[in-house]
Amino acid sequence: MQQVSDASRSPGYDPAPTNSRALIVDSIRSAGTVSRVELTQITGLTAPSVTTLVRRLIDDGLVDEAGRGSSTGGKPRTMLRIRAAARYVVGVHLSADSLTYVLVDYAGAVVARWRRAGPGDDSDPEQVVERIAAETTELIERSGVDPSLVLGLGFVCPGPLIRNRGVTSAPPSMTHWVGFPIHRRLEERLGLPALLENDATAAAAGTRLTTSHDVSVMAALFMSEGIGSGLRLNGNVYQGAHGNAGEVGHICVQIGGPQCWCGSTGCLEAIAGPATVVAKARAAGLDLGSPRRTGVAAFAAIARLALTGDSRAEAILRDSASWLALGAQTITNMYDVQLLVLTGPAFAVAGTIYLPIIQERILSSAFGRAVNTEVVLDERGHDAAAIGAALMMLRSDLAISA
Amino acid sequence: MQQVSDASRSPGYDPAPTNSRALIVDSIRSAGTVSRVELTQITGLTAPSVTTLVRRLIDDGLVDEAGRGSSTGGKPRTMLRIRAAARYVVGVHLSADSLTYVLVDYAGAVVARWRRAGPGDDSDPEQVVERIAAETTELIERSGVDPSLVLGLGFVCPGPLIRNRGVTSAPPSMTHWVGFPIHRRLEERLGLPALLENDATAAAAGTRLTTSHDVSVMAALFMSEGIGSGLRLNGNVYQGAHGNAGEVGHICVQIGGPQCWCGSTGCLEAIAGPATVVAKARAAGLDLGSPRRTGVAAFAAIARLALTGDSRAEAILRDSASWLALGAQTITNMYDVQLLVLTGPAFAVAGTIYLPIIQERILSSAFGRAVNTEVVLDERGHDAAAIGAALMMLRSDLAISA
DNA sequence: GCCACTATATTCACAGACCTAACAAACTCA
DNA sequence: TGAGTTTGTTAGGTCTGTGAATATAGTGGC
């Protein structure tokens, strides 16, 4: 049980691994395949240190040699890569209308994925724990992965939470979750360490960096049922004092604006979040399929309409995007990032509408111009949070012990 | 010259000192006087390590023993404290209408302070360098401190900058500073390492923590001629990818709001910053003394009027405060801090009007309620930026070498 | 005033991380 | 085939920090 709490501790920002072993593993993982010489450059360690650390990792079965590079006039480089089958982690993303599972291997690749209907609005937390535990077990079983190689589970849910204590406040659909220590219950039920994280923060951890240049400071703008953001610094997420950093959905963007479920008024989420977009679309008489369709499913229906030429749907989304752009600008102003990634289920379905509007505002703002902040769309938006939670587990100390 | 750049390097967030020597010095400095046993608790190092490190620090003249604590049944603790006279650093805060110098000793105390009129709007940067160099030299001379003990200089100016390159964009009064590498010029002129920092970020570093409980994540909301903020994590400031984190003055708080000098519209600073407050007060016919009085001096005149019962002045400031409260809420939402300190010259003169309004909004916001974020006024607001710059220099690697 | 007791601080021997310097291995090219 | 080049390893040393044992300087009982 000692180990269990270890993974989810870490008050505030977790500095870059002082642990060279973790540093090497991270470097190999994010590079794909690298040679030892390259590792000396990436990590700043000396060649002998790299040799020693890599040897131990190979002995422990965490890293493999993977053929040779071509010679550049001398001995060719021996390439290294993560032994993908060494360990696995599970990532789970819960929201009212969907429940996403991913199984991620030690190299960080998704080897299994499962999306199911969410527990709905009035679910009993204890029953949901049961269900998640059962489905997690089933996921592992069906994937054919040896369960003893599964290190732990990263669990993600929307909204503010207090690390190690559970959800502290929640959107209307999940109020009965407040104060329920779901990750602890999952730990007990599954016998695996579990980590609890905010959806947006996890998404920041899960975003693959596909930019050419080196990005050490990036943020994710996450939209699912709500709106949030996460900040990633050199691969570590910034969580704030209580694990609630990045609550961009509840900054006030309009004095005297509409009431938000959070108790405040004029929140970005209340004005331009998916729930509001859906309400506006319904009010405008758009056909979103079944009237029982809610949350991201309903939002996706609007996006489909907009993308197939419905100008009313498009106008509603473009209006939402102009507000989201404000949030994005706040993120870049406050965090000063090199890269902002739009991610989460809502951007997965409507990102192409939001992206140019957000980009334009960022690039035309004074600081955007001065420093050239890039804004991109995550191609794995749907699963970003679940993947991120899994990756956070994969980067915990647990994951590098022999 | 190697050393010189060392102090101002540090891409993005600088993790807690891995350097135990620096850790010990920091711990003693922030505790005032401590025993070795207490240091083992604070730092997590073992008793033998503390013994050794402290012995070296005493040998190097950086730390002194300072009598004994009272016994609690055994050997009384030998108290340690920083040898204040071991080293000194200078902090300089430049704005259009004032130039503040502080000389800070190795214990972090201000031993000399000098506030002078600013260079005004149309000053030649080279001449300002000359003037600052001369006045810095004079400050040191008059203080009686041995110049060879002065480690370096922390330089602070308003607005966005790119670390190591100078100011990148600037308020109207300082546009001619754009691109001028003032800290490099000061280094050359004074023969001392210099560090360039944004005023708000430095203020976060300069704020003394007077709260009872342990604060590891705090932010400063800084108001001088402009509005900015800084984030401090475990004693290290977060600077962002380009040194521009915390630009809360240029988040948009009103769609279609007034034009800001930064090129954007609806910026917090344009709506509620000191310049706007002064303009409104003049428009309302308030007597601010000489019509040539500008910047913080004019703002201070309004604050005096408000505090002596002028209801028009008070209304103008209260309106500004309600907008600043939005900015404060954004800070707490994005950074999730335990403590928010209002600081800078403008809060130094009008803080008592702003504080309750800001406090109320933070405490009534959902996340404020859930996690109890404290909001306080800095009693050293006038000098916070200069002091902070000095303290940042004091925490650089330079400052702990024998 | 002496003795046990306790809390504080130090010494000593050792483990581990990481470095420099020297060396071995594996390729290219003349 | 061998010189040159690049990659990786071995050997030895330094430095940091640890645990175990010990020294130091008080308190309080008798």
Closest by Cβ to B329, choosing from A162, A252, A263: A252
The model's pLDDT over A183-195, given as tens digits with 9 standing for 90+, comes to 899 999 999 999 9
Same domain, A51 and A63: yes
Same domain, A245 and A333: yes
pLDDT at A3 over 50: no
- Which of B85, B113, B130 terminates a domain? The answer is B85
The model's pLDDT over B145-154, given as tens digits with 9 standing for 90+, comes to 999 999 999 9
State the CB neighbour count (10 A cutoff) for residue A284.
Answer: 12
Alpha-carbon distances, residue B36 vs A79, A385, B48, B214 (angstroms): 48, 45, 10, 20
Q: How many residues comprise chain B?
A: 402
Distance B68 CA to D20 C1' (A): 27
Closest by Cβ to A242, choosing from B241, B263, B336: B336
- Which of A50, A84, A118 terminates a domain? The answer is A84
Mean pLDDT of chain A: 87
B193 at interface of A, judged by CB pairs closer than 8 A = no
Contacts of B401 (CB under 8 A, 6+ apart): none
Same domain, B154 and B257: no
Same domain, B162 and B220: no
Q: How far apart are CA B370 and CA B290, in angstroms?
A: 47
Q: How far apart are CA A217 and CA B284, in angstroms?
A: 45
Question: What range defines the domain where residue B21 resides?
Answer: 2-85
Instruction: Tell me which chain B residue has its CA closest to the CA of residue A324.
Output: B252
Same domain, A38 and A109: no
Q: What is the CATH number of the domain that holds A10?
A: 1.10.10.10
Mutate to test the interface with B, among A334, A374, A375 (most CBs of B within 10 A): A334
Residue closest to D20, CA→C1'? B48
- Which positions of chain C lie under 7 Å from any protein Cβ? 5-13, 17-22, 24-29
The model's pLDDT over B58-89, given as tens digits with 9 standing for 90+, comes to 988 999 998 887 777 777 888 999 999 999 99
Same domain, A329 and A303: yes
The model's pLDDT over B196-221, given as tens digits with 9 standing for 90+, comes to 888 999 999 988 765 546 688 999 99
Instruction: Tell me which chain A residue has its CA closest to the CA of residue B159.
Output: A367
Between residues A210 and B188, the one the model is more confident about: B188
Strands A217-223, A227-233: pairing kind? antiparallel
State which of B159-168, B258-267, B283-292 shows the largest mean pLDDT: B258-267
pLDDT at A96 over 90: no
Nearest to A278 by CA among A316, A226, A306: A316
Cβ burial of A402 (10 Å; 0-12, 13-18, 19+) is exposed
Same domain, A176 and A301: no
- Which of A63, A84, A105 terminates a domain? The answer is A84
Number of domains in chain A: 3
Instruction: Tell me which chain A residue has its CA closest to the CA of residue B170.
Output: A366
**Cα-based angle A138, A142, A145 (whole degrees, multiple of 5):** 100
Q: What is the CATH number of the domain that holds B335?
A: 3.30.420.40
Same domain, A22 and A123: no
Residue closest to C9, CA→C1'? B51
Same domain, B194 and B216: no
Same domain, A319 and A200: no
Are A254 and B251 in contact (CB < 8 Å)?
A: no
Q: How far apart are CA B265 and CA A274, in angstroms?
A: 26
**A224-238, B121-135, B304-318: range with lowest mean pLDDT:** B121-135
Same domain, B80 and B184: no
Q: How far apart are CA B187 and CA B398, in angstroms?
A: 15
Same domain, A349 and A239: yes
pLDDT at B3 over 70: no
